[in-house]
């Protein structure tokens, strides 16, 4: 069984079955970068979160990416007069698959995201920028890089 068929239900489960969604704990939005896609984040508390996403590239080989990260937040790095501007970093996994006609092997790798997220004061909106080194483990071991800028609405 291919891993992507297991990741899709896991992402949906995390997004819909969280008991603490009320209270601005779960956010959903979009990310533009490498790759473009949909992102979701569950804030476990003020300094820990789970981030999941699905991204795609529809040019070339029709590439589809699934990822999940465990993130740590540091609030005391950059002070802002209103809202929050935490630095975050973490570790996670990425699975990449291609369209049938691409003739490429699926890839699995370890993500090491580092980013910054501005959470607006008296609002449920957050914007973020991240840089993500990825150590691909299959089919070949190599370093890759991803990045993105995005926005989420927290419920």
Question: What phi and psi, each to the nearest 5 degrees, are found at residue 5?
Answer: -75, -20
Tokens of 112: 């090491």
Two tokens, residue 35: 């790759």
Which residues pair with residue 95 across a beta bridge?
Answer: 66, 108
Q: What is the pLDDT of residues 13-53, one digit of tens each?
A: 444 444 433 346 899 999 999 889 999 999 999 899 999 99
Domain coordinates in residue numbering, the chain: 4-154
Query: Would you state the torsion angle of the CA atoms of residues 24, 151, 63, 1, taken in this order, to the nearest 10 degrees?
Result: 0
Q: How many helices (H) and strands (E) does the chain have?
A: 1, 9
pLDDT at 62 (0 to 100): 85
Q: Are 123 and 134 spatial neighbours (Cβ–Cβ below 8 Å)?
A: no
Strand partners, 128: 117, 150
CATH number for 4-154 (one of 2.40.160.20, 3.30.559.10, 1.20.1270.360, 3.40.50.720): it is 2.40.160.20
What digits encode the pLDDT tens for the residues 55-89? 998 777 788 999 999 999 999 888 899 988 999 99
63-74 and 48-57 strand pairing? antiparallel
Q: The pTM is what?
A: 0.80
Query: 109-145, pLDDT tens digit by residue?
Result: 999 999 999 999 888 999 999 999 999 999 999 999 9
Alpha helices, H only, 71-151: none
């Amino acid at each position: 069984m291919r891993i992507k068929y297991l990741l899709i239900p896991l992402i949906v489960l995390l997004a819909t079955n969280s008991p603490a969604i009320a209270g601005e704990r779960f956010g959903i939005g979009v990310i533009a970068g490498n790759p473009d896609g949909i992102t979701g984040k569950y804030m476990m508390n003020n300094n820990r979160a789970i981030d999941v996403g699905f991204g795609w590239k529809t040019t070339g080989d029709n590439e589809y990416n699934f990822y999940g990260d465990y993130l740590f937040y540091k609030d005391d790095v950059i002070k802002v007069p209103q809202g929050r501007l935490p630095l975050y970093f973490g570790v996670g996994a990425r699975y990449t698959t291609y369209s049938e006609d691409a003739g490429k092997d699926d890839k699995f790798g370890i993500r090491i995201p580092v980013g910054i997220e501005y959470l607006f004061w008296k609002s449920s909106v957050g914007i973020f920028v991240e840089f993500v080194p990825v150590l691909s483990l299959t089919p070949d071991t190599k370093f890759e890089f991803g990045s993105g800028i995005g926005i989420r609405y927290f419920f």
